[in-house]
C-alpha cells in the first residue's frame, strides 16, 4: 500500500489488509518485497527487540530510531508507528511533537491506544494532517490497569463500551483501528458498523484485515505461543540449527573452506 486511502479501497474491493510489524531495515526490506500491505513499527519493539517487560517501557527515541530504520528498508510502503506510552496523554503539544518526530522519521501515520480522555488530541492530530490509527480492546500500554493480557469485551457492558469507543474514533477522524483480543462476533459487528477499516489481532476473521508481530509469525521466541498468533516458520529452531552448524564447523575446522579463504 502506498497511502492510507488504500485501506478503504481494499475494504471496498473485499481484499483483507495484511499488516505486519518490523523494527529494522533488514526485516523491512524483506517485508517490502513480500505480499504484505502495511508495516507497523509497533511499540512491541520494547519487548521483542529490547527485551523489556512490557510496552510501557517504549520511549519516543526508541520508536523514532526504529521508524527511521524501517523507512530506509521500505521506502515506498505505508508505515504506521506507535505513539509510545503516555506520549499522547500529556496534552496536544507533547502529542503533536511526538507524532511529528515519528512522521519526520518516516512514518506515514501514527497509532495510539484508547480514546477516552484524549479525544482532543486525536482530533488535533488528524486536524494537523497526521493520519491516526486507533487501537482498542486489549491495549497493552494499560496492562497494569487491565490486570494482564486477556480477552476484552466479554461482558455486555465491556462490549457496549468498545462499540462506543470504535464509533468515537471514527467520528474523531481515525482512518482505521486495531482491535486486539476481542470476541470475533463483536469485532465483526464493530467492523460492519464503521465506515473505516479494522485490523484484527486475536479478533477473528470478521475484521478488514489482520496484523501479526513479525517475531511471532516467524516463531523466533520458542517460549511465546499465544493461540491467535499463527507461526509460519519455526524460526527459533531454524536459527538455532544455523548457529550450531556454524559453531561445529569452526570447531571441526570445516569453516572457512578453501573457496572461502581470500587469496
Contact positions vs ligand KIV (CB under 6 A): 21, 40, 42-44, 82, 178, 180, 201, 211, 213
111 is in an annotated binding site: yes
From the list ligand KIV, Na ion, none, partner contacted by residue 84 (C-beta under 5 to 8 A by kind)? none
Q: Confirm or reject binding of residue 43 to Na ion (CB under 5 A).
A: yes
From the list Na ion, ligand KIV, none, partner contacted by residue 178 (C-beta under 5 to 8 A by kind)? ligand KIV
Q: Which residues are paired to 211 by β-bridges?
A: 19
Residue with cell string 548457529: 243
Catalytic annotation present for 170: no
* Among positions 17, 21, 82, 181, the unique one binding Na ion when judged by CB under 5 A: 82
Please tell me what DSSP assigns to residue 88. Answer: T
Nearest to 103 by CA among 144, 145, 63: 63
For residues 92 and 96, give the distance between their C-alpha atoms in angstroms, rounded to a whole number.
6
Q: Confirm or reject binding of residue 42 to Na ion (CB under 5 A).
A: yes
Please tell me what DSSP assigns to residue 55. Answer: G
Question: Which residues lie below 8 Å from residue 172, measured CB to CB, with a gap of 6+?
Answer: 115, 119, 122, 123, 126, 132
From the list Na ion, ligand KIV, none, partner contacted by residue 203 (C-beta under 5 to 8 A by kind)? none
Annotated catalytic residue within 119, 156, 158, 180: 180
Point out the residues that are catalytic. 180
**Known binding residues for 3-methyl-2-oxobutanoate:** 43-44, 82, 111
Amino acid at each position: 500500500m502506498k497511502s492510507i486511502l488504500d485501506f478503504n479501497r481494499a475494504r471496498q474491493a473485499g481484499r483483507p489488509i495484511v499488516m505486519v510489524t518490523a523494527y529494522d531495515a533488514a526485516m523491512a526490506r524483506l517485508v517490502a518485497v513480500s505480499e504484505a500491505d502495511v508495516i507497523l513499527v509497533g511499540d512491541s519493539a520494547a519487548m521483542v527487540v529490547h527485551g523489556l517487560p512490557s510496552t510501557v517501557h517504549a520511549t519516543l527515541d526508541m520508536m523514532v530510531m526504529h521508524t527511521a530504520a524501517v523507512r530506509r528498508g521500505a521506502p515506498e510502503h505505508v508505515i504506521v508507528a506507535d505513539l509510545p506510552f503516555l506520549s499522547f496523554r500529556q496534552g496536544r503539544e507533547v502529542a503533536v511533537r511526538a507524532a511529528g518526530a515519528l512522521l519526520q522519521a518516516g512514518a506515514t501515520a501514527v497509532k495510539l491506544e484508547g480514546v477516552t480522555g484524549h479525544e482532543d488530541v486525536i482530533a488535533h492530530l488528524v486536524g494537523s494532517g497526521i493520519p491516526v490509527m486507533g487501537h482498542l480492546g486489549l491495549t497493552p500500554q494499560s496492562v497494569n490497569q487491565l490486570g494482564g493480557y486477556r480477552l476484552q469485551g466479554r461482558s455486555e457492558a465491556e462490549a457496549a463500551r468498545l462499540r462506543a469507543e470504535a464509533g468515537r474514533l471514527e467520528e474523531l477522524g481515525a482512518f482505521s483501528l486495531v482491535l486486539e483480543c476481542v470476541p470475533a462476533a463483536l469485532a465483526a459487528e464493530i467492523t460492519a458498523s464503521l465506515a473505516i477499516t479494522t485490523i484484527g489481532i486475536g479478533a477473528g476473521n470478521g475484521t478488514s484485515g489482520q496484523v501479526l508481530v513479525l517475531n511471532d509469525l516467524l516463531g523466533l521466541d520458542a517460549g511465546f505461543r499465544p493461540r491467535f498468533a499463527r507461526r509460519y516458520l519455526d524460526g527459533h529452531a531454524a536459527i538455532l540449527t544455523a548457529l550450531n552448524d556454524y559453531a561445529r564447523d569452526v570447531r571441526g575446522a570445516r569453516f572457512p573452506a578453501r573457496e572461502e579463504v581470500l587469496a
